Amino acid sequence: MRWLKSILYFAAGVVVFVAATSFTIGYLLRDESEVACPDVTGLDVEEARSVAAQEGLSLFVAKYEKKKDVPYNRVLAQVPDAAMPVREGRTVSVIVSDGPQTTEIPSYVGLSLEEARAALQEKDIGIKKIMYVPSEKVGQVLAQVPASGQNIPDEEGMSLIVGGREKRFFVMPDIASDDYAAAIEEMDEKQIKYSVTSGGPFGWIRRTAPLSIPPKTVFSEDEVLEIRTGARD
């Protein structure tokens, strides 16, 4: 009978072991349930972290990689890949863009050009282009690109539209005259810029000397008329 009791004890132990093992395996399988890894590429790091947490996963930034065409802090790649089955609690490793960083643009409209230059310099933003348009507000910023409230990459400059004096145009008069004083007076009256080059002792405008701007030619106030003087022919 002693051997029978031994067999019964052994069988009971086997049953208990099998039951315990089955329970443990079942518990572990239930505890390590799988989820589909979400796609976090293209998202901001914090947004990607939130998406991963919703699936019971954590996020780890493996490295930053310089990308001029991808905004700062955006996810470039991930491991595991999107939609791959993973166990809850697993870490998703990502590679993140290191640039360019962006700056929110305030309004510079109404400032003088020099004030706008100084304010942009404080933010390390360059001026890409300055365009002048006729306006009563000479030297004042009338508009800007990008507009205020928008973001601009740190490697991109701004364009400013600045008020400028309206440019005037003249028709070159025929000043080939012996009356040098009258010609100069006419230039001064019309606010035409000129330079005088003396070529003789009398200070008369030579009838045959070519002018830098021929008579009846349309020219802007920014152009400088060269007047060459000398003895009368």
Which sequence spans correspond to the domains of the chain?
31-97, 102-164, 169-230
CB proximity list for 209: less than 8 A, separation 6 or greater: 199, 228, 230
CB proximity list for 219: less than 8 A, separation 6 or greater: 169, 170, 172, 213, 225
Least confident of 9-23, 53-67, 121-135, 143-157: 9-23
91 in helix, strand or coil?
strand
Confidence of residue 230 (pLDDT cuts 50, 70, 90): low
Amino acid 190 reads K
31-97 fold: Trypsin Inhibitor V; Chain A (3.30.10)
102-164 fold: Trypsin Inhibitor V; Chain A (3.30.10)
If you average pLDDT over every residue of the chain, what do you get? 78
pLDDT, one tens digit per residue, over 169-199 is 777 766 655 566 777 777 787 777 777 776 5
Q: Which CATH class is domain 169-230?
A: alpha beta
Burial of 104 (0-12, 13-18, 19+ CB in 10 A): exposed
CB proximity list for 148: less than 8 A, separation 6 or greater: 105, 106, 107, 108, 109
Instruction: Say yes or no: do domains 31-97 and 102-164 share a fold.
Output: yes
User: Is the confidence at residue 232, as pLDDT, over 60?
Assistant: no
- Exposure string of 172-192, with b = 16+ CB inside 10 Å and e = fewer, is beebeeeebeebbeebeeeeb
Distance of CA 139 to the CA centre of its chain: 24
